Structure 1
């Protein structure tokens, strides 16, 4: 080894030892006769002191050190004394004094300093990701990611699960997000698809008798990106045989408790709370509520159905809803301009036509529309909302689905703006009893809410013919801090029931065989009852670290336009590569 210690491990009890350190020059200070260099690696920083001797070679080399040069030093660990200690560094009690210096590699002047006070713009940091990854904050992200994956592997190994890899090159199954396609050179005009999930393979593993499977799986989706999405991502993929819903949920409760214990050293209270899909939609307007704060949605439709305010009255009369939020103590925080512009824009992005609001004054309401409500109506609204003097009440009047989406978005915005939660807090819960199907009015058909392989709640089989919208699936999501952190279901293991679902989704038997024949064939050969779940590893690292940008927790992420700025990908390819694949690029003018 070129070093005997790292830059983060030396302490006072190492004083007197001779050590060799390697790392990057972080800071350089010439104090006349003594040159100090902060030497950095991913473990920490150690101060190096060069005591200059007249015309020594070390003096010349030390004077030439610049930011990010890679150097090696050998010297004696000495105490810095009480007056010179640096309490900000774990190694602040000591320094290494040396005249033995080697410059292992010079660095060009970096476009930004990894430990600079001001963070460079993200585009520049992604272009020079190899420098950005030297930042202690990102190194901590990668460390926590490693700790989480290690915790996952140890937990499942102790429970007798097998880590089995599934193929990356598979068959296109275009539902949901778009597939990434890979042309085959050998099979002309045919394409592989990169997996959006190992879903079908892990079900086949259950048929094959591997009753406890897990995998840290790479997945790919060609979809529009957001701060919490990437075209390639990692999920903790799990499948189990001879289990029911309770078995899956309790297993994942144990996994989360283990992850929190291993990474944070704290206890997570289990079992996690459970809510039905209908319940969270009513209370929070979304199936992935952030439960770190309250501020639940409240329906006042019955209180305003006969009010003098036409917007509310007409909405209720046409079958819509008037629902709102009570924002505690915020009556004077938001100006009319912010409410009429910024917040109206937020709800408008989710289909709402407008935003109504009141300030609570005593037991009454104050706003430009308060005159349309009599004293009794105002008191009833304040009581229903749990309002107190100084609270802000905001409302959306529209179809139920619009009030859900608009107020859920506004609720999250207000909570972040008012700092109602700790970004590093973890508040997790299960959402169960999702609808099996949702109506696609544009296509005049039923679409699977999760995917077409979810088992049906046994109490709802009667609704297949009469009202499919009432059918609940044996599916479940784990929500944490407003994210869908995991999703899964008990699977259909009976091919006859599977075809019944395909029939509901207008997937004819012949088409089902063409698209999913290998799975259906496997189900015909003794498939056990089974179920599973997948957890988004990237999102879990985000939540553990309290960041809302998924690119912070991936070593080499893509931009929101799915570009790799460091590698310059995607890129054009040589003509002969296209000829080998029998592909001709035909770009639109």
Structure 2
């Protein structure tokens, strides 16, 4: 954008130093789109129209139903308070309710599902959530709910035979733990051959993310990245209360997985430097080249990147993203077929003036 291109797109091969999971690996492919003088709503429309354009091919290949636009849009705070996740799976219910009276947050599992869950299933679920989050959830039948939890029942309105899953508290930590329980219990129900997920593909946008959050040391860090712009309505809080700043960041979610993300960028060099030095407490000298470039004149701009491998994996219902990649990487990042990565010969490194010390060629 700074160099004068008003827009571009690229199919980009990306490398990220991340722990491998079923939905990600170190090497992946993105459709990257960046544009000047753009708004989040323009991005929504472009991506939705792109998916509409390719959908006849997806339909003819998979035999799925049409998709409709515009996609559902949900604010981050609503996603967390109702689903306990910033990438909610909206194919099934189990929405949260919070009781300010007794301080519990919970959801109920209808009898048609709960009757198929054993005590061992529920115990394993409680243990899994505790092991991964450090938070304890409770699961009771309606009849066994204690009197100090009755206000939550009034909100959930469970019927006889339903199970109630709840946790004490309503902070992001507790909501994420309950959100994990919600997702895992749905997987458990599905594994028993019960129909819980609505069919087809459910796309939605998540927006209105906070721009900053505190790390374990109590220091501010960017929720998305430090180049994300603040919303015009909350930008003034940059200088008084960063916790109240909403970022112009948006994620595209499909069936409970993030398949794309982007933002409108900071284009004012003074604002960008303030974020680096005063909020994030980073050394702006390392980014001086970038600040100089912004100072030369950058238009308002933004974009988005879609994870093509992950999208295809969702479309074909693959168990792992590696099932749709020609040369997938193992959990440790190695390509077992090609035997890569390998050490680069010193002769080749010297051509690029690179020196690597303290390495073995085992």
Q: Normalization by structure 2: what TM-score? A: 0.89
Structure 1 residue 289 and structure 2 residue 61: aligned? no
For 1:333, the equivalent position in structure 2 comes to: 116
- Is contact 2:252-2:258 (8 Å) kept? yes
Please identify, of 414-423 and 431-440, the stretch whose mean Cα deviation from structure 2 is larger: 414-423
For 1:474, the equivalent position in structure 2 comes to: 248
User: Partners in 2 of 1:466 and 1:575 — Cα distance?
Assistant: 52
For 2:125, the equivalent position in structure 1 comes to: 343
Structure 1 residue 240 and structure 2 residue 35: aligned? yes
Q: Deviation per CA, 1:519-545: give whole Å up to 9, x if none.
A: 322222221111101111111101111
For 1:28, the equivalent position in structure 2 comes to: none
Determine helix, strand or coil for the equivalent of 1:358. strand
How far has the Cα of 1:434 moved from its partner? 0.6
User: Partners in 1 of 2:344 and 2:8 — Cα distance?
Assistant: 39
For 2:234, the equivalent position in structure 1 comes to: 460
For 2:206, the equivalent position in structure 1 comes to: 431
Q: Which runs of 5+ in 2 are unaligned?
A: none
Q: Which runs of 5+ in 1 are unaligned?
A: 1-205, 306-315, 317-321
Q: Normalization by structure 1: what TM-score? A: 0.56
Change (3 A) 1:358 1:562: same
1:279 to 54, 78, 82: 78
For 1:260, the equivalent position in structure 2 comes to: 55
Give runs of ≥4 in structure 1 deviating > 4 Å: 420-424, 572-581
Rg larger in 1 or in 2? Answer: 1
Structure 1 residue 491 and structure 2 residue 265: aligned? yes
1:97-496 → structure 2 map (5 Å cutoff): 206-265=1-60, 266-302=65-101, 305=102, 316=103, 322-329=104-111, 330-340=113-123, 342-360=124-142, 365-366=143-144, 370=145, 372-373=146-147, 378=150, 380-398=151-169, 400-419=171-190, 420-421=195-196, 425-442=200-217, 444-496=218-270
How far has the Cα of 1:568 moved from its partner? 1.9
Q: Deviation per CA, 1:13-45: give whole Å up to 9, x if none.
A: xxxxxxxxxxxxxxxxxxxxxxxxxxxxxxxxx
- Is contact 2:97-2:152 (8 Å) kept? no
RMSD: 2.3
For 1:309, the equivalent position in structure 2 comes to: none
Please identify, of 348-357 and 465-474, the stretch whose mean Cα deviation from structure 2 is larger: 348-357
Greater relative contact order (Cα < 8 A, sep 6+): 2
Q: Deviation per CA, 1:249-298: give whole Å up to 9, x if none.
A: 11111112222233215532111111111110100111000111111122
How far has the Cα of 1:384 moved from its partner? 1.4
- Is contact 1:446-1:505 (8 Å) kept? yes
Change (3 A) 1:399 1:295: closer
How far has the Cα of 1:389 moved from its partner? 2.0
